[in-house]
Amino acid sequence: MMRYALLTFALAATTGASAQYDLDEQLKRVQQQHQRLQEQQRANVEKLDSVKLAIIRRDLKRLGLPALQPGEEVIVHPGHMLVYDERHEQPKWTAHIATPDLITGNLARIDSFLPDPQVKTGTAVTADYWNSGFDRGHMVPSADMRWNLGALQGTYYYSNVSPQVPELNRGTWAELEDWGRRYVNFSKRRLFVVTGPVLRDGLPTIQKADRKNEVSIPELFWKVIADLDGDAPKAIAFVMRNSAQEYPPISYSVSVDSVERLTGLDFFPALDDAAEQRIEVMREPKDWYAEGDPFFGEVEPLKAPLPKGMFNTVQAKYHIGKTATICGTVVSTRKTAKAKAIYLNFDRMHPHQDFYATIWEYNGPNFSYDPETWLMNKRVCVTGKLTVYDDIPRISINNESEVVLYEDAVRETQKR
């Protein structure tokens, strides 16, 4: 009996060891198979990206490049193209296509700024910018290319860089770049983008004792964007000064032909004459907000200066603690469940608004209409003491007389 028990135990131990060995081998085989699949997937992604980038370059050449001047050479990188201006040591213009691939692109910034080896005359270098007080402003945003490493690296060549003051590069200009990405994200459509500085003789240059090149400091930057896919192409452009900009990007929108007059460039020459003429006079920001965009419904703040004693929503922050009249368009309203207060958001949607007005529940009887619905989409002026909450200026409206339609307010000031 004892011998039988020992034999059974030995068999069980052997079987257990064998089973353990089989599991280890099975894990090893599965891991090897998984590694082969990962390598195959990486190879497939590289092939797929290669074709996507080839299509971008094809379509840029076919539709997206400005007309070339005699002697100009197009520098071709994986995800964008450019013409370099040696006199000013920066791009004359850059062109790229922002595709829906940017939605899932998750590559990190690399900050590997390098001279562009394709520019025969040489480009600016790090010493030209370092401690200069200017940002190395990407003309083709690196964030538009975070779906492919080669395309991303191409945006860090100095051929894609122009000196921008930090307040512009990290402020309204960055908002404009994000505005384009939002359109791609929510519409799932491609954007043809051409960007550059306004270059002219006599511009000041970055002055540093250790500089290697004379890099001009532009006064203005421009961006032209177009949706050229399909039967109804459209375009819009933007121009900003190389300084801090107070207004949202929508306020700097212009027509493409105005940028042509400013720069001497000819955009989209490959389009037929009728299509080119049609899109170059377009300037309709509302066409560039796809459904789902959190900024959908925003409007331009009223142009300053307004009639005496009236200010737009961007200017409201300069009058905190004072009684003032602030004018703008009510683009959204909401009533809070707890306080039953009505919030009127002016020009931009919550939480991006520069100013809002509040009507507390106890002041509701002071209105002959429902302000939550009647004021929606109207241009109005509200008068009261400006306070600030969460860094956003606001006015509490006590009664109907403190709210006036903007056109009526203008007529009243003209009578005085």
236: phi then psi, degrees, rounded to nearest 5: -155, 160
Q: Longest Cα pair distance anywhere in the chain, in angstroms?
A: 120
Can you read off the two tokens belonging to residue 24? 């280890």
HSE at residue 367, side-chain half, CA atoms within 13 A, is: 20
How far apart are the C-alpha atoms of 54 and 43, rounded to whole Å? 17
Select which of 138, 319, 350, 352 is catalytic: 138
**Phi-psi label, residue 350: left if phi above 0, alpha if psi -120 to 50, beta otherwise:** beta
Closest among 289, 277, 292 to 248, alpha carbons compared:
289
For the chain, give me the number of helices (H) and strands (E)? 9, 16
259: phi then psi, degrees, rounded to nearest 5: -70, -35
CA distance between the termini of the chain: 120
**Annotated catalytic residue 138:** yes
Residue 353 DSSP SS3: coil
- Which amino acids are annotated catalytic? 138
